[in-house]
Structure 1
Amino acid sequence: MTATTGQGADTDERQPLLPTKNQGPLEISTKTRYGILLGIWSGTFLASLNMTLVPTMIPPISSEFKQSNQASWIGTCFLLATCTFTPLYGRLSNILGRRGAFQTALIFTAIGTMMCGMAKSMQALIFARFVAGIGGGGINTVATIIVSDMYSLRARGLTQGVASVFNGLGMGLGGPMGGIVTDWLGWRWAFFLQAPFFMISFLLTSWNLRYLTPGKGKGIDILKRIDYGGILALLISVGACLVFLSEKYNVILPWSNPRVYLSLSTSIVFLVVFFLNEIIWAREPMLAPALLTQRIPVLVAASNFCVAMCNFSVTFFFPMYFETVWLTSASVAGLHLAPNSVSMMMGSLFAGWMIKRTGTYKTINFIFGLFPFIAAILIRSMLGQRPEDVDWVRSWLSIIPLGFGNAVVLQTMLIALLAHLPTSQMAVGTAFGQLFRGIGQVGGVAIASAMFQSILDTELRKRIVDVPDAEHWIVAIRQSALLVHDLPPNLQVLARASYQEALKAVFTFSACMTGLAYIVRLPVPDKDLDSPRPDSEVVVSGRQDVESETRGAMTRS
């Protein structure tokens, strides 16, 4: 058997075509490698699809359950679970092996997705989305780790670019698919139709993902090594913050209300508990807190956070603009996200190709990192005009620089992070970057939703004043976006204008976040990707990292 190089080059004809025992990630056959990639990338497609599937479905879902003002929880609960459990998968990939960690995430996502389709109430749907989110972030994290196992840092850029195509395809198709399936079959089928694809991903990884990686853990010892304290503290902290934003800005409760100040206090207290647990108490902390003392990981984390805030505030509210202001159908509104999907795929491939060709990443980040800010400004200016004054080119193409630029940024920042970490810290480093990206996703939806609902309420009250049952109409319009289509002409004009003003504030927020992300990234230095990696004995957890401790032991993926 002839081993491949770190470039993931093809093996010779003497290498077995089927997975065999005792092979490392660089020794597997080309056929096996492609089988692994197809299995994990089909999973990342589904995970990304579920992140953006909901926005175009929110009006019909909230109208069925009559709880539109709580509909943001459908999206934020998925992202809450994602950001809470994502960092855990960096450790799980060492404890359970790559296959065990990936399939654990896949199973949670599949079960939660099927539960969504069967939900009989808004509360049941929110819980199901949370279950799906437990695995959603893990799929992407472990998939990134697996690619890093099989390819060198320079070759990884292009391979990760192809991976990002599946990620971008899922995120881009989520909105259109949600709208089209909702219009044709009903919103529940948008969840049920995913079942065969989950099965395909599970079978492909079961058959192919069998190479060996450093690690250890058997039986009950696996359960002992999970950072339960970190999971619980982060879950309570982020969850309480979401409750605070919802109660203060969605429900519009005063600061003196206990539900407002208690939820905010709980969030702060448990955030402190989370960091204390990671630094002092956890046996194997999922955060690897010493990374917070290193400049490059901190800058990458901050960039990921701001980029995700921008991405998800735009993704969740861009379709709503066309549904409530332009009065289009859900399917047409969702299709307006399709150009973003295509541009994300092109940006990922471009970034990967440039990284492999040049062996560097800073220049393309510096140039194309400005694109998302340009897109946010274009979208914001579009909302400053009457719909009839906006031509089709601007309505369909303004979002393109957002997807392309952010795809380049996320790709280059991942490579920058890994280039400045030792190989032994690749898994926890990847999870570290994904954690802040996940928190940014939650923040993008939650903060934008709070801002949107607060301003919408203010704008409606400014406009609907001399109308019989004004309070009834204000509440009804906030609770059901679809109601805008059926309002009397005089009320419809007022509602559309109010939605437009609220959405304008959301996209101003998006522009600020992507501008801040660009500034944060500027100090990240360039590095020749063919140069040696940092010393593998770096300590990242306050105690000797588990991956250094278990170097030499082997666990099947």
Structure 2
Amino acid sequence: MTTRPGVEVPLAAPQDTAEQETTPLLSQGNINDDLETQQQDSVSESQQEQSKRSVFGIISVLLIGVFVSQADTTLVFATYAHITSEFIRLGGGSWIDGSWIVTSFGLATCATQPMYGRLSQIFGRKPILQISYTLFLVGTAIAGIARNMEQMIVGRVIQGAGSAGMVSMVSILLTDLVPLHEVAAYRSYVNVFSTVGRSCGGLIGGFLSQTIGWRWAFIGQCPLLLLSIVLVWWKLEEPQHDVELKQSIWTKLKRIDIVGAFFMSVAILAGITALDLGSKKSSSSVVISLVVIGVIAAILFALAEKFWAKEPIFPLELLGKDAVITSYSIIFIQTGIQVALMFLVPLYFQVTANASMGEAGAHLVPAVFGNTLGGLAVGAWIKRTGRYKPPTVLASLSAMLCFSLLLIIWRGHTSTAGSLVIFFGGCASGMANSAVFVGLTAGVEKSQMAIATTGMYLSANISMVVGVSVASAIFHSALRSNLHRMLGRVVGGDEIARKVLSDVAYVQTLHGPLHRLIIRAFVASFRRTFAVQIALASTALVIGILSKQRKITR
């Protein structure tokens, strides 16, 4: 009769025990899971922070090369007159126009620029970047020890071929190393170093030329280049695909589209040379011949890429993408506007304020600051919002504002405050470079990003040549017309006009009413050129408004 309580008690006891044991075990498990999750989050955050430091360290190394290559550009502008004079005294290549010291570099850069994208896909980013540094180093050394103009030109050509990769490869590596929404922020640092390099190059070149000689302006770059080569070899690590690791050098060499590269280079060289010679009023038969060669080479290049090449050096289907066309068009226009500004501003102050070349060049400082601040601001904006279209549109508006103010304010007597308006022109260039690059990379596949990037740099480099040529042609055509119109009734007016057109320094020797008349002719010519730049900026504005805002997913 007592069995029921005896049975019930042991049956209830295990249930209570199970509840008491199970509950703390489950709680302990949850605590362990939470601790493990916190530890994983902590490790993840630590890894991300370490990754950011690693990327920033790599970018810092690459920026040394960016600084040197950009400084060399303006350094040569400051020294090529000294170089030409020395070679003329020595009788070495005095028959060559000294401007070819600059032109040969630009031609080599444009001819080799598009190749770096495909070559970096075949051989890897690091080896191709090392080659570009080495080419620039060799070319710089040859230029520094050159004994005649021919040797100098050879050095400058090799330099140009290296420079084409030193900057574009950095942008390509950015797309490999950082998320797309952060690319603009990092690329703004590249823009800053480019701008600072160009600003310092002229000052350094001018100082060295006047103190210890122009040769040291070249030779002095070599230690920095050697340091860059060593640091890139040491610091830069890039992932390699299994296919790349298994392929021999010979297999990789066979993948190069040599036929396409040859015809592309010939087309670019012929076209740019024809434009350069045409702006200098060279023989029309030579210019026409170069145009014909360029057109034929372009057709053969298109045929080779379409029907022959297995891995085209520049796939033609890229030009069918709206992101590519939009980016190339805007960067072409904005670069041309910026170069025109750099050409017109020093000339304006030389003429209207009797400024020396150094003083006139100093008036470009506001544009340099604008370029820097514009790039940094856009980088921060895109990183925070993921939107690149608004800065693209704002860049064109900033350029329009700059040249509109120049058109209104710069009438021959410009105050210090009035000279600051070129800040907006520099700002436009900085904003456009950062925003357009992100727009380009957001609109193409990852596999095509490297080639599309080098194409954008080619567009910018061609625009540098075209921008100077077009701005110079418009200005001098207007000046010739205005001088003949204003000096038509002045005794000896034709001779005065000829001297003014051949030597700007002649204006500084004039005084009184004649001087004021010449200044009026110059100001009217500047204003016509400013108006053309406004029209170009308006074109870029329309393109920017019609462009698509794509979602940044990488």
So what's the TM-score if we normalise by structure 2? 0.78
Distance in 2 of aligned mates of 1:440 and 1:418? 21
Matched residue, 1:320: 347
Query: Aligned pair 1:193/2:220, yes or no?
Result: yes
Query: Is the 8 Å Cα contact of residues 86 and 137 (structure 1) preserved in structure 2?
Result: yes
Distance in 2 of aligned mates of 1:124 and 1:181? 21
Distance in 2 of aligned mates of 1:317 and 1:86? 27
**Mapping of 1:326-365 within 5 angstroms?**
326-365=353-392
Query: Aligned pair 1:41/2:63, yes or no?
Result: yes
The match for 1:249 among 256, 279, 285 is: 279
Query: Aligned pair 1:393/2:417, yes or no?
Result: yes
Q: Which has the higher contact order (CA 8 A, sep 6+)?
A: 1
Gap change, CA 1:416 and 1:210, over 3 Å in 2: same
The offset of 1:205, in angstroms, is 0.4
**Mapping of 1:151-300 within 5 angstroms?**
151-214=178-241, 216=244, 217-251=247-281, 253=283, 257-300=284-327
Distance in 2 of aligned mates of 1:487 and 1:112? 41
Query: Aligned pair 1:405/2:408, yes or no?
Result: no
Count of residues in Structure 1 that have an aligned counterpart in Structure 2 = 501
The offset of 1:125, in angstroms, is 4.3
**Mapping of 1:23-38 within 5 angstroms?**
32-38=54-60
Query: Is the 8 Å Cα contact of residues 56 and 333 (structure 1) preserved in structure 2?
Result: no
Distance in 1 of aligned mates of 2:500 and 2:213? 23
The match for 2:440 among 404, 417, 427 is: 417
The offset of 1:159, in angstroms, is 1.9
Distance in 2 of aligned mates of 1:452 and 1:128? 32
The offset of 1:415, in angstroms, is 1.0
Matched residue, 2:118: 91
Query: Is the 8 Å Cα contact of residues 398 and 424 (structure 2) preserved in structure 1?
Result: yes
**Mapping of 1:127-166 within 5 angstroms?**
127-166=154-193
The offset of 1:357, in angstroms, is 0.9
The match for 1:373 among 394, 397, 400 is: 400
**Mapping of 1:447-526 within 5 angstroms?**
447-452=470-475, 467=492, 470=495, 474=498, 478=502, 483-484=505-506, 504-526=527-549
Query: Is the 8 Å Cα contact of residues 242 and 446 (structure 1) preserved in structure 2?
Result: no
Residue identity matched to 2:279: Y
Residue identity matched to 2:416: W
Query: Aligned pair 1:444/2:467, yes or no?
Result: yes
Matched residue, 2:32: none
Matched residue, 1:548: none
Unpaired runs of 5+ residues, structure 2, are: 1-39, 89-93
The offset of 1:330, in angstroms, is 2.8
- Aligned to 2:240, what secondary structure does the other structure show? strand
1:422-464 CA-partner distances (Å, limit 9, x unpaired)? 2222212222322222222222133334445555666677759
Distance in 2 of aligned mates of 1:104 and 1:38? 19
Residue identity matched to 1:347: G
Query: Aligned pair 1:79/2:106, yes or no?
Result: yes
Gap change, CA 1:333 and 1:299, over 3 Å in 2: same
1:315-361 CA-partner distances (Å, limit 9, x unpaired)? 24433333455332332233222222222121111111111111222
Q: Which moved more, 1:84-93 or 1:452-461?
A: 452-461
Query: Is the 8 Å Cα contact of residues 250 and 454 (structure 1) preserved in structure 2?
Result: no
Gap change, CA 1:186 and 1:474, over 3 Å in 2: farther
Gap change, CA 1:325 and 1:68, over 3 Å in 2: farther
The offset of 1:145, in angstroms, is 1.3
The offset of 1:243, in angstroms, is 3.5
Distance in 1 of aligned mates of 2:353 and 2:137? 35
Gap change, CA 1:218 and 1:50, over 3 Å in 2: farther
Residue identity matched to 1:228: I
1:476-534 CA-partner distances (Å, limit 9, x unpaired)? 963x65x54885769988877776666555544433333222221222222332x4x6x
The offset of 1:118, in angstroms, is 4.1
1:77-99 CA-partner distances (Å, limit 9, x unpaired)? 33322222111111121222111
- Aligned to 2:354, what secondary structure does the other structure show? coil
The offset of 1:52, in angstroms, is 3.6
Distance in 2 of aligned mates of 1:315 and 1:353? 27
Distance in 1 of aligned mates of 2:98 and 2:340? 15
Q: Which moved more, 1:212-221 or 1:134-143?
A: 212-221
Gap change, CA 1:262 and 1:460, over 3 Å in 2: farther
Unpaired runs of 5+ residues, structure 1, are: 13-25, 534-557
Gap change, CA 1:290 and 1:72, over 3 Å in 2: same
Gap change, CA 1:345 and 1:219, over 3 Å in 2: same
Distance in 2 of aligned mates of 1:499 and 1:376? 16
Distance in 2 of aligned mates of 1:499 and 1:64? 33
Gap change, CA 1:469 and 1:506, over 3 Å in 2: closer
Matched residue, 1:544: none
Matched residue, 2:5: none
Distance in 2 of aligned mates of 1:398 and 1:39? 34
The offset of 1:302, in angstroms, is 1.1
Query: Is the 8 Å Cα contact of residues 117 and 189 (structure 1) preserved in structure 2?
Result: yes
Structure with higher Rg: it is: 2
Residue identity matched to 2:266: I
The offset of 1:281, in angstroms, is 2.6
Residue identity matched to 1:264: V
Residue identity matched to 2:437: L
Distance in 1 of aligned mates of 2:433 and 2:481? 36
RMSD (CA atoms) = 3.7
The offset of 1:136, in angstroms, is 1.6
The offset of 1:380, in angstroms, is 4.4
- Aligned to 2:312, what secondary structure does the other structure show? coil
Gap change, CA 1:277 and 1:332, over 3 Å in 2: farther
Distance in 2 of aligned mates of 1:178 and 1:350? 30
Query: Is the 8 Å Cα contact of residues 57 and 330 (structure 1) preserved in structure 2?
Result: no
Residue identity matched to 1:407: G
Distance in 2 of aligned mates of 1:180 and 1:511? 36
Distance in 1 of aligned mates of 2:481 and 2:87? 24
- Aligned to 1:519, what secondary structure does the other structure show? helix
The offset of 1:119, in angstroms, is 4.6
The offset of 1:401, in angstroms, is 0.9
Gap change, CA 1:248 and 1:334, over 3 Å in 2: same
- Aligned to 2:551, what secondary structure does the other structure show? coil
Distance in 2 of aligned mates of 1:280 and 1:314? 42
Q: Which moved more, 1:421-430 or 1:56-65?
A: 56-65
- Aligned to 1:212, what secondary structure does the other structure show? coil
